[in-house]
Structure 1
């Protein structure tokens, strides 16, 4: 509002009883307060106050205007307090998009615990793998795993996503253990949703290799099942293969080639004033995942 400061000055002058007291209350000079009120009266084309050396008297129009302005200012203050309270304490609707097995196994249980901690939050958790315009489709944030593309969105790493190359002992007994990226060209690789595997070479650069094999699937659990049965090597996030590695069903190889640019990310629109519900949810997920060895 163009004359909002002048309205605040007018109400303060009436309530405080003088320009000096109003100026001190608002943290401005007396001369600035006087100019603001004069501009307001010129804008309205009426005299709101009658000034004398001894006191200020509201005109009839000024009295009606004061009552309306005081009511509006009160409503504005209540609205500001409500907004700040919402910013300080997580509450309201939280809409999150998440993808894949990581979302099912880790995000969903953590989200349920989050709601138990913050009963004033309502959560909608949508599972999908497609590219989403968060602002256009009304999402507060996305949880995504892998290598992020450049965008105007803010991304925070909330968990590690170490990619491991694994095979069964039966497979290694038959075909040997690969020691380099080039060695993989001689091996049967279980191909996932992408035709390439990602590596970090000896110079720290990230490279990709197109892999070939008899088994293809866009499902991590299907790839894992094939690897357990010795059908080939697989590259999967550690959370898929952790239990198999601990049980000795699979063996990890070429660990020095693990890429370092893949992780689990919380992605949200660029916003200087991140809402309390989003900030608390992201912090909560990060804290939950830090308690899991292979995610931290």
Structure 2
């Protein structure tokens, strides 16, 4: 009978397309990963993977087996979650996916305090600006900002995400201050681009309702912190959440434009996979996030300028 750990390793190899990448993700050496795959193929008496110098792909049998692996691993997780309800103390590992800047600024600094409160837990943060697949990547909890497309997940609202359009004073001195939404079409707009991102369309509010503009610029990145650096350097306008730039607003390093036409606000959500039982560790982490953010988000309390 195949070992459960071997199933998890095989699934991660298929998802990442690499033995070494799966090893890094699971904190195992490539040799151990290779040996476990060989043992699994021996147990099943079937070849599961085709190996090339660049990538590992599942065979026809491997692709079919991978789907069964996901079902088995998910069922095992549900059993573990059910059993964990019998103890009041949250325990075990939790994998949390967050946007890079938000996770670094508002979550990572508090993980030590969280683990001091729940010493039987282990926290793994996945910082990425892309939308991770909760099931495929076996993520326990994801923090997402903006529109949600994963209808299969359970959602809890954490905070309002108020946004503004900003630029460095040097940029505004050189290019002028936009007075109306249409003026954005004549400016260099710094854009966040990754699969699922819609930042090239900026939706602003106004007396006649929302207005969406397709903006453009000569610089874009899949990392929000790079965009912020470019904006601070005077390279263009950026649409930014207040939580990311509150210190720069207070210090005058960034100026808000189009105050009468602010971008439509988003929300910050916690998402977790739909299931019959919510693990105690997931509930504990969500409650901790609500606690550290506060009823009025900490970045709103820190804001000292009128926007």
TM over 0.5: yes
Partner deviation per Cα, 1:198-228 (whole Å, 9 max, x = no partner)? 3243368555322222333333333223322
Matches within 5 A, 1:58-69: none
Greater CA drift, 124-133 or 209-218: 124-133
Aligned to 1:109: 109
Does 1:292 pair with 2:298?
A: yes
Partner deviation per Cα, 1:13-46 (whole Å, 9 max, x = no partner)? xxxxxxxxxxxxxxxxxxxxxxxxxxxxxxxxxx
Does 1:238 pair with 2:242?
A: yes
SS at match of 1:85: coil
Label 1:144 to 1:158 Cα distance change in 2 as closer, same or farther (>3 A): same
Does 1:185 pair with 2:181?
A: no
Q: Distance in 1 between matches of 2:227 and 2:203?
A: 19
Q: Distance in 2 between matches of 1:159 and 1:92?
A: 27
Q: Distance in 1 between matches of 2:276 and 2:261?
A: 37
Compute the displacement of 1:153 (Å): 0.9
In the alignment of these two chains, the number of paired residues is 216
Matches within 5 A, 1:143-158: 143-158=143-158
Compute the displacement of 1:261 (Å): 4.9
Aligned to 1:85: 86
Aligned to 1:270: 274
Q: Specify which of 184, 207, 219 is matched with residue 223 of structure 2.
A: 219
Q: Distance in 1 between matches of 2:84 and 2:169?
A: 59
Q: Answer whether contact 2:162 2:241 (CA < 8 A) is retained.
A: yes
Q: Answer whether contact 2:154 2:272 (CA < 8 A) is retained.
A: yes
Q: Distance in 1 between matches of 2:103 and 2:184?
A: 30
TM-score by length of 2: 0.61
Q: Answer whether contact 1:199 1:257 (CA < 8 A) is retained.
A: no
Structure 2 unpaired stretches of 5+: 1-79, 303-307
Q: Distance in 2 between matches of 1:131 and 1:222?
A: 18
Q: Answer whether contact 2:129 2:222 (CA < 8 A) is retained.
A: no
Label 1:235 to 1:129 Cα distance change in 2 as closer, same or farther (>3 A): closer
TM-score by length of 1: 0.63
Q: Distance in 2 between matches of 1:167 and 1:236?
A: 10
Q: Specify which of 257, 261, 275 is matched with residue 257 of structure 1.
A: 261
Partner deviation per Cα, 1:131-186 (whole Å, 9 max, x = no partner)? 44423443221122232125121121223322211112233233332233212112
Label 1:201 to 1:231 Cα distance change in 2 as closer, same or farther (>3 A): same
Please list every run of at least 4 consecutive aligned residues from structure 1 whose deviation after the TM superposition is greater than 6 angstroms: none
Q: Distance in 1 between matches of 2:209 and 2:140?
A: 34
Q: Distance in 2 between matches of 1:82 and 1:232?
A: 53
Aligned to 1:138: 138
SS at match of 1:258: coil
- Report the structure, 1 or 2, having the larger helix content: 1
Q: Answer whether contact 2:163 2:265 (CA < 8 A) is retained.
A: no
Structure 1 unpaired stretches of 5+: 1-78
Label 1:140 to 1:293 Cα distance change in 2 as closer, same or farther (>3 A): same
